[in-house]
Amino acid sequence: MTEHTPDDPMAELPGVSYVMPVLNEVTHVEAAIASLLDQDYTGPFDVIVALGPSIDGTTELVERLSTVDPRIRVIDNPTGSTPSGLNVAIGASGYPIVVRVDAHSLLPRDYTRIAVEAMQRTDAANVGGIMKAEGTTPFERAVAIAYGSKAGLGGGAHHVGGEEGPAETVYLGVFQRDWLTRVGLFNEDIRRGQDWELNRRLRAAGGVVWFTPRLVVIYRPRPSLERLARQFFSTGLWRGELARRFFTGNALKYFVPPVTVTLALLGFVAGVVGLVLIAAGASAVGAGLLFGFIVPVVYLLFVGVAAIDAARRGGGRTGAWFLVVLPCIHFSWGLGFILGFLKLTKNITAHTGR
């Protein structure tokens, strides 16, 4: 087979650069990189790993992998943030197709081939598909079910599937490099939700973001309740920031968790105040405030029904964990959204270092 340079337009298939930001991912990164090396795409490719300041052995692992396989290149990402890592990796790459990958994701063997075929057929600026969460423990399986259900993350096509066609956003993404450089790459001021924001700029510039359910990426959920809460609080925080910046560009589903959190907390507080007033002798006013308990009770019933379905799909222990996982996702995300929408994103990010 004839060798082609990264910018050679005469290549039989366009060259592909996989770009992966990595920070403290020693558990997952080797499998993620292996899934890239195992692609059945026959065009030239390289793997650019943007390595953040990791302390869990990730640095040593990816450097060893790059020594064994010269197609893997490791570059520094001093800030450790996802958007800066993506940008430095894109800057270090040279092929015309850029595949955004995540250390928690496993690409099926036909992923790149299907994505490039769809891109050549549609001339889309970005092609993506479905994030299929899969867990190995009852807790992780509960998180995976939440990801793939309307009760959990709202039922977007990139979580539950749908018809092929133009979309608002897609999971990860396979980009035409020219389109990325045209709109200015990822916004490094946005730590989470940078994919949605980039896709917004691509669409505003006349590019097409194309969803195809043929692309299914396996995603490994966070393994503990603490890490899950931190993940969704941070995601909600930046989604609130994006909702404030681009209010009319956000679907109504993004406002459901913060509204739910607000109403449930207000209802609970009203009910507690009602009990206090009844105990103090103000029974008429207190009795009225007891109706506030209706909102959190309805929410708990909603969680219970969803947990029954989770138990049916994943077993009793998975269903039991779902009773904790679903409120954790909703309340962490919803509280983060409220704080981000109130323009507290930078203060909180600076305080937490994330």
Whether residue 5 has pLDDT greater than 60? no
pLDDT band at 1 (very low <50, low <70, confident <90, very high): very low
Q: Is 236 a domain residue?
A: no
Domain that holds residue 163: 16-221
**Is 34 in the same domain as 98?**
yes
In percent, how much of the chain has pLDDT > 70? Answer: 90
Q: Is 146 a domain residue?
A: yes
User: Could you identify the residue written with the tokens 């990822």?
Assistant: 186
User: Tens digits of per-residue pLDDT, 268-305?
Assistant: 999 999 999 988 888 888 888 999 999 999 999 999 99
What pLDDT shows up at residue 280?
86
Q: Is 2 a domain residue?
A: no
What pLDDT shows up at residue 153?
67
pLDDT band at 336 (very low <50, low <70, confident <90, very high): very high
Of the candidates 221, 239, 274, which is a domain's last residue? 221
Q: Is 22 a domain residue?
A: yes
User: Tens digits of per-residue pLDDT, 174-207?
Assistant: 999 999 999 999 999 888 888 989 999 999 999 9
**Which CATH number characterizes residue 80's domain?**
3.90.550.10
Q: Identify which of 295, 259, 292 has the alpha carbon closest to the alpha carbon of residue 273.
A: 292
How far apart (Å, rounded) are the C-alpha atoms in residues 330 and 346? 22
What pLDDT shows up at residue 74?
93
**Is 112 in the same domain as 192?**
yes
Q: Is 277 a domain residue?
A: yes
Q: Is 246 a domain residue?
A: no
User: Tens digits of per-residue pLDDT, 60-119?
Assistant: 999 999 999 999 999 999 999 999 999 999 999 989 999 999 888 889 999 999 999 999
pLDDT band at 225 (very low <50, low <70, confident <90, very high): very high
How far apart (Å, rounded) are the C-alpha atoms in residues 316 and 333? 26
How far apart (Å, rounded) are the C-alpha atoms in residues 114 and 80? 31
**Is 212 in the same domain as 284?**
no
CB 175 within 8 A of CB 100: yes
**Is 309 in the same domain as 188?**
no
Q: Is 226 a domain residue?
A: no
Structurally, how many domains does the chain consist of? 2
Instruction: Name which residue leads in pLDDT, 247 or 322.
Output: 322
Q: Is 344 a domain residue?
A: yes
111 conformational bin, left if phi > 0, alpha if psi -120 to 50, beta if neither? alpha
**Is 141 in the same domain as 285?**
no
Highest mean pLDDT among 9-13, 44-48, 237-241: 44-48
Question: Mean pLDDT lowest for which of 10-14, 20-24, 236-240?
Answer: 10-14
**Is 204 in the same domain as 267?**
no
How far apart (Å, rounded) are the C-alpha atoms in residues 79 and 55? 14
What pLDDT shows up at residue 10?
34
What pLDDT shows up at residue 221?
87
How far apart (Å, rounded) are the C-alpha atoms in residues 215 and 129? 5
**Is 134 in the same domain as 259?**
no
**Is 214 in the same domain as 265?**
no
**Is 276 in the same domain as 213?**
no
Average pLDDT over residues 241-245: 86
Whether residue 39 has pLDDT greater than 90? yes
**Is 268 in the same domain as 317?**
yes
Rg of the Cα atoms in the chain: 22
**Is 36 in the same domain as 171?**
yes
User: Tens digits of per-residue pLDDT, 136-162?
Assistant: 899 999 999 998 887 776 655 566 667
**Is 258 in the same domain as 216?**
no
Whether residue 3 has pLDDT greater than 80? no
Average pLDDT, rounded, for the chain: 87
